[in-house]
Amino acid sequence: MRQPYLLLMDHSKDIQLGQWATKRMVQAARTSGAVMVYADHYREKDGQTLPWPLIDYQTGSLRDDFDFGPLVLISVEALKAAVADMPSDFKYAGWYDLRLRLSEKGPLLRLPEYLYTAKETDGRTSGEKQFDYVDPRNREVQIEMEAACTLHLKRLNALLEPPFKEIDFNTIPFETEATVVIPVRNRVKTIEEAVLSVLSQKTEHSFNLIVVDNHSTDGTTEVLKEMAKSDPRLIHHLPQRTDLGIGGCWNEAIFHEQCGQFAIQLDSDDLYINNEVIQTIVQTFYQERCAMLIGSYEMVNFNLAPIPPGLIDHKEWTPHNGPNNALRINGLGAPRAFFTPVIRAIRFPNVSYGEDYAVGLTISRHYKIGRLYEALYLCRRWEENTDAALSIEKTNTHNLYKDRLRTMELYARMGQQK
């Protein structure tokens, strides 16, 4: 190639370039020294032309669905260097592998200017798209993506190798063996069912339930007060602070004096699948000697009828490479459970999105994480889910935050290998 830059375009999006669009991208590449330039643009969707802002690429932007838009400008020199030692047998991960290798050569620059218009060909909501990576039909794709990411981490000297540290339990005395934690705000339609699914559990050990009621205004508080009267295992906790996100509510629970040795998650609109979940989780902690345990769940509608994709088991997590692949995927799975001394030492960030992912990444750097691939709870998908149908701006905010978490974790792992 004699030209210094290559313009890569997805023709399925029917792209219409704006005024001097390509010249502007070349100018930005030359000025900044970027090896790749991508830009904000407009999307034609449902008969409307809407602004489609993207987000800045970070060192930790390792998820394979990062949105560069359907038009990118690539340095030919960097392209040649990147493809020189690329695997030739990737069927699905070629672009992902290429852009990871390009990021090792220089900056991937977002140009926050609306340079073109493209047709939106995927009309699904954000809530419908978010489980694509765990759909069993995409398993072969995910295996390749994991391989590309693992190679990237190895080149960055950020790859974690087993064995991972195991836990010696019972070093700190706890009066209660297990505590289920439910942070809640305004879930009057579902909170009673969630609580009953916990209180109906059959165990060989003591357990309780801490519901952190984040100043509900819809009647949730009254429901919980009434339920707490009839069962002392239900601890209805009303925090003094008014600035708490979900992570802050979790901190209230794990530092509560009645929190048990294991803190187990349940969302306020979900249900445990049977009355043996807590027992199964506690037994697995002792068998695996892990600091964190992650289960699987079934997708259901509000009336608890199964919906696609069904079982979400996160089998992309493997004992030998799970902590590395965790940097690529957008979530680790649920329900999540923690050895309380470890999670108290780490603490949750006080946010309402990504708080679980943040602590999961940190724990995976230091400790063994156990998995249960059988369904442990029913996950409701309904119109009041906080992630049911997000705007592009909200989606970008979420993705930017998780990429920042990955960036911090990546730097930590690189420093740990020195």
Are both 232 and 345 inside the same structural domain? Answer: yes
DSSP calls for 67-92: ---SEEEEEHHHHHHHHTT--S--SS
**Domain ranges, residue 232:** 178-389+408-417
Question: Does residue 321 lie in a domain region?
Answer: yes
Using the structure block, give the residue that is written with the tokens 């090896």: 35
- What is the pLDDT averaged over residues 180-205? 97
Q: Give the pLDDT confidence score for residue 138 in this predicted structure.
A: 79
Question: Does residue 128 lie in a domain region?
Answer: no
Question: Does residue 46 lie in a domain region?
Answer: yes
Are both 221 and 87 inside the same structural domain? Answer: no
Number of domains observed in the structure of the chain: 2
Question: Does residue 323 lie in a domain region?
Answer: yes
- DSSP-derived letter for residue 168 is -
The residue that leads in pLDDT, 133 or 418, is 418
22/25 Cα distance (integer angstroms): 5
Are both 191 and 103 inside the same structural domain? Answer: no
Are both 219 and 85 inside the same structural domain? Answer: no
Is residue 329 a contact partner of residue 133, using CB atoms and an 8 Å limit?
Answer: yes
- DSSP-derived letter for residue 367 is B
CATH number at residue 54: 3.90.550.10
Per cent of the chain over pLDDT 90 is: 85
Taking the whole predicted model, whether its pTM rises above 0.75 is answered as yes
Q: How many residues does the chain have?
A: 418
Question: Does residue 139 lie in a domain region?
Answer: no
Per cent of the chain over pLDDT 70 is: 95
Residue 46 has pLDDT above 90, yes or no: no
| Residue 13 pLDDT grade (very low, low, confident, very high; cuts 50, 70, 90) | confident
Question: Does residue 327 lie in a domain region?
Answer: yes
Are both 221 and 335 inside the same structural domain? Answer: yes
The two tokens of residue 373 are 């691939």
| Residue 132 pLDDT grade (very low, low, confident, very high; cuts 50, 70, 90) | low
Tens-place pLDDT, residues 317-361: 888 999 999 999 999 999 999 999 999 999 999 999 999 999 999
Tens-place pLDDT, residues 259-305: 999 999 999 999 999 999 999 999 999 999 999 999 999 999 999 99
142/345 Cα distance (integer angstroms): 33
Are both 109 and 244 inside the same structural domain? Answer: no
Question: Does residue 129 lie in a domain region?
Answer: no
Question: Does residue 192 lie in a domain region?
Answer: yes
Are both 191 and 55 inside the same structural domain? Answer: no
Q: Give the pLDDT confidence score for residue 131 in this predicted structure.
A: 53
22/12 Cα distance (integer angstroms): 19
Are both 246 and 368 inside the same structural domain? Answer: yes
